[in-house]
């Protein structure tokens, strides 16, 4: 009997309408765990690296972790891995909610979707049995309407992951969103589904995940719960205010980017802060199934009640675009969620367009502070209408098309999230070296530079940041593979997750094993990108952040001093001065034959 894992994957070819069930080698599961790790390992074997994203030959790999479906705190997550049409990098997203739990209840650790259908279709996996069904009547629907229609057919007990009009129209910021509002947001993987004419994946199952040691599991469940309750972030800050609590915090640090990163401080921040949201528009708080933190806010806007907005969305539709009107931000969040677009890349691209227009490089009637214009442009992006067609390509392609690539605030063509590296040196290194492009979650150096987790460091110092960034990148890669919520991990160290993984699977894991697995994942992603044409020249921040000091606020006078950290980062990684993993590193991690 297999504990934690089912040891099975479901392979669906949309081109020839074949469906196959395959066993997963236990050794692969032990070495890559699940979630992000398993998805990356499978994609590296099945989709050859190339300078251009593979088009219809690209694959979508949905994967859950061994803890998914066990009821462990924060464990109801899953990953989606593919080649990103926005960045060209190997890419993974993960989300919470019910869908990942239902994947495990269907009896599978992963789904591999390959080929493309000639007509719109959707997948229904019910109690392990898969069908490819006609989606002609669903094509064109927004995400809530699509989910409702599918539940009318298959019952309210199913869970749905769907794309909206943005994915159907090949928008490079298109996301995949579940029926409970959880988003596989970044990298445009919704456009990969759209290119395959795949509207949705519907799941419903009843199979249980079997635990190896029930008594040890219960003990670890209680111990992890104690740490969650003891930590003020997971017991007070996130439950009370959710992620918007960060708005005032980062503004007071001079690390809240505004006006397309022209500023690092926003005078209207308090109007859109977590405290203001709690006082004025919050209806109730909720969260993922079984999560003790319950960090999600249901808020009231002009179109009714809905989830969010989260911190990154408040920033991208707010300070990034010079907007301090909460009602506009809530409506922008709603539009992105129903149309299926990543709020970070969408808002950042809008901010880029506003600056291009401000400086006379782009002829569109859209400027900083124009809330109604922003809402109209979100629709145009989703349907690729008028100027929205250019913005649907992301900020890098938009700015490059205007002859001004420097106005795109991106790394590897992925837009930088809501943290100004001029006020957070380690965060800048994390952005630059992230394998999927600019991502705050890969290293989340906010932990050490702001929150003091695991220890507080000087946010303006570059000393020691390379080692801490690598440590966090490795640990977080393993956490994404379990699959566990990052917020829970602010309170619970990898030692406890190793012991929980041991209780669930019956295989002895130590904290150092998780570090090694995370390092293996990180290096495989790096090798894949290198073989796809990326080099150390892509590990760069926009020149604005490295050359133009912050002009006002608490980070005034500072730039991102990336060059002071890159050499040490490569050396500590065991890579060459050009950022290439050495043969010794590859052999130690067992990656010699991992990429096809």
* CA torsion, ordered 154, 156, 158, 163, to nearest 10 deg: 80
Q: Six-digit token pair at 104?
A: 């495990």
CA 86, CA 581: separation in Å to the nearest integer?
25
With beta carbons less than 8 A apart as the criterion, state whether 390 and 401 touch: yes
| Sign of the torsion angle spanned by Cα atoms 563, 451, 296, 69 | positive
With beta carbons less than 8 A apart as the criterion, state whether 127 and 204 touch: yes
Distance spanning both ends of the chain, measured CA to CA: 31
CA neighbor of 132 nearest in space, from 22, 17, 20: 17
pLDDT attached to residue 66: 97
CA 326, CA 309: separation in Å to the nearest integer?
10
Please state, as a whole number, how many other Cβ atoms lie within 10 Å of the Cβ of residue 60. Answer: 23
Name the 3-class secondary structure at 300: strand
CA 393, CA 109: separation in Å to the nearest integer?
33
pLDDT attached to residue 596: 63
CA neighbor of 278 nearest in space, from 256, 295, 263, 255: 295
The single-letter DSSP state of residue 24 is P
Residue 325 region by backbone torsions, left for phi larger than 0, else alpha for psi between -120 and 50, else beta: beta
Name the 3-class secondary structure at 479: helix
CA neighbor of 400 nearest in space, from 349, 343, 345: 349
Q: Where are the alpha helices (DSSP H) in 326-370?
A: 326-339, 343-358
CA 514, CA 97: separation in Å to the nearest integer?
24
Instruction: Quick: pLDDT tens for 346-398.
Output: 999 999 999 999 999 999 999 999 999 999 999 999 999 999 999 999 999 99
Q: Which residue has the tokens 């064109």?
A: 140
Determine whether 20 is exposed, middle or buried from the number of CB atoms within 10 Å of its CB (0-12, 13-18, 19+): exposed
> Which pTM does this prediction carry?
0.97
Query: What does the chain come to in residues?
Result: 596
CA 510, CA 487: separation in Å to the nearest integer?
21
CA neighbor of 541 nearest in space, from 419, 446, 458: 419
Q: Domains of the chain, with CATH numbers?
A: 8-204 (3.60.9.10), 244-415 (1.10.569.10), 425-589 (1.10.599.10)
Q: 215: Cβ–Cβ under 8 A, 6 or more apart, which residues?
A: none
Farthest-apart Cα atoms in the chain, separation: 66
Residues of the chain with pLDDT under 50: none
pLDDT attached to residue 1: 59
Name the 3-class secondary structure at 282: strand
Q: Six-digit token pair at 102?
A: 């239902």
Strands 121-126 and 198-204: parallel
CA 507, CA 501: separation in Å to the nearest integer?
8
CA neighbor of 162 nearest in space, from 150, 173, 172: 150
Name the 3-class secondary structure at 398: helix
CA 434, CA 525: separation in Å to the nearest integer?
10
3-state SS, 152-205, equals HHHCCCCEEEECCHHHHCCCCCECEEECCCCEECHHHHHHHHHHCCEEEEEEEC
């Amino acid at each position: 009997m297999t504990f934690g894992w089912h040891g099975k994957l479901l392979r669906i070819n949309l081109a020839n309408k074949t469906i196959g069930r395959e066993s997963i080698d236990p050794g692969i599961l032990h070495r890559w765990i699940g979630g992000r790790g398993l998805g990356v390992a499978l994609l590296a074997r099945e989709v050859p690296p190339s300078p251009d994203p593979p088009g219809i030959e690209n694959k979508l790999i949905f994967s859950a972790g061994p803890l998914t479906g066990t009821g462990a705190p924060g464990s109801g997550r899953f990953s989606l891995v593919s080649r990103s049409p926005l960045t060209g990098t190997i890419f993974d997203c993960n989300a919470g909610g019910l869908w990942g739990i239902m994947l495990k209840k269907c009896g599978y650790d992963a789904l591999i979707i390959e080929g493309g259908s000639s007509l719109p279709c959707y997948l229904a996996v019910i109690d392990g049995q898969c069908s490819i069904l006609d989606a002609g009547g669903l094509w064109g629907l927004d995400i809530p309407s699509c989910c409702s229609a599918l539940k009318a057919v298959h019952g309210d007990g199913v869970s749905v992951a769907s794309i909206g009009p943005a994915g159907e129209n090949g928008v490079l910021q298109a996301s995949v969103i579940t029926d409970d509002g959880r988003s596989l947001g970044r990298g445009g993987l919704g456009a990969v589904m759209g290119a395959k004419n795949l509207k949705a994946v519907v799941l419903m199952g009843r199979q249980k995940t079997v635990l190896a040691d029930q008594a040890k599991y219960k003990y670890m469940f209680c111990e992890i719960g104690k740490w969650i309750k003891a930590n003020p972030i997971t017991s007070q800050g996130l439950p009370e205010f959710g992620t918007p609590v960060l708005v005032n915090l980062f503004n007071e640090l001079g690390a809240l980017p505004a006006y397309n990163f022209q500023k690092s401080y926003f005078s209207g921040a308090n109007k859109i802060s977590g405290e203001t949201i709690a006082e004025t528009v919050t209806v109730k708080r909720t969260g993922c199934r079984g999560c003790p933190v319950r960090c999600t806010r249901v808020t009231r806007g002009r179109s009714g009640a809905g989830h969010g907005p989260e911190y990154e969305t408040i920033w991208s539709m707010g300070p990034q675009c010079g907007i301090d009107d909460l009602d506009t931000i809530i409506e922008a969040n709603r539009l992105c969620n129903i149309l299926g677009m990543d709020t970070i890349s969408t808002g950042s691209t809008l901010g880029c367009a506003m600056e291009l227009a401000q400086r006379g490089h782009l002829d569109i009637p859209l400027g900083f502070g124009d809330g109604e214009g922003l809402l109209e442009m979100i629709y145009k992006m989703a349907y690729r209408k008028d100027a929205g067609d250019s913005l649907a390509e992301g900020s890098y392609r938009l700015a490059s098309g205007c002859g001004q690539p420097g106005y795109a605030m991106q790394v590897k063509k992925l837009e930088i999230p809501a943290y100004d590296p001029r006020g957070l040196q380690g965060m800048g290194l994390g952005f630059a070296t992230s394998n999927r492009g600019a991502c705050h979650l890969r290293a989340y150096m906010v932990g050490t530079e702001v929150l003091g987790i695991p220890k507080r460091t000087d946010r303006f110092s570059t000393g020691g940041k390379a080692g801490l960034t690598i440590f966090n990148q490795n640990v977080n890669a393993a956490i994404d593979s379990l699959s566990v919520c990052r917020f829970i991990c602010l309170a619970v160290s990898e030692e406890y997750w190793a012991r929980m993984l041991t209780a669930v699977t019956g295989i002895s894991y130590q904290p150092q094993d998780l570090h090694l697995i995370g390092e293996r994942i990180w290096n495989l992603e790096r090798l894949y990108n290198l073989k796809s044409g990326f080099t150390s020249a892509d590990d760069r921040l926009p020149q604005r952040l490295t050359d133009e000091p912050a002009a006002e606020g608490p980070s005034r006078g500072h730039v991102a001093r990336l060059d002071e950290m890159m050499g040490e980062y490569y050396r500590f990684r065991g890579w060459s001065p050009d950022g290439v993993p050495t043969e010794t590193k590859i052999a130690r991690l067992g990656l010699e034959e991992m990429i096809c």
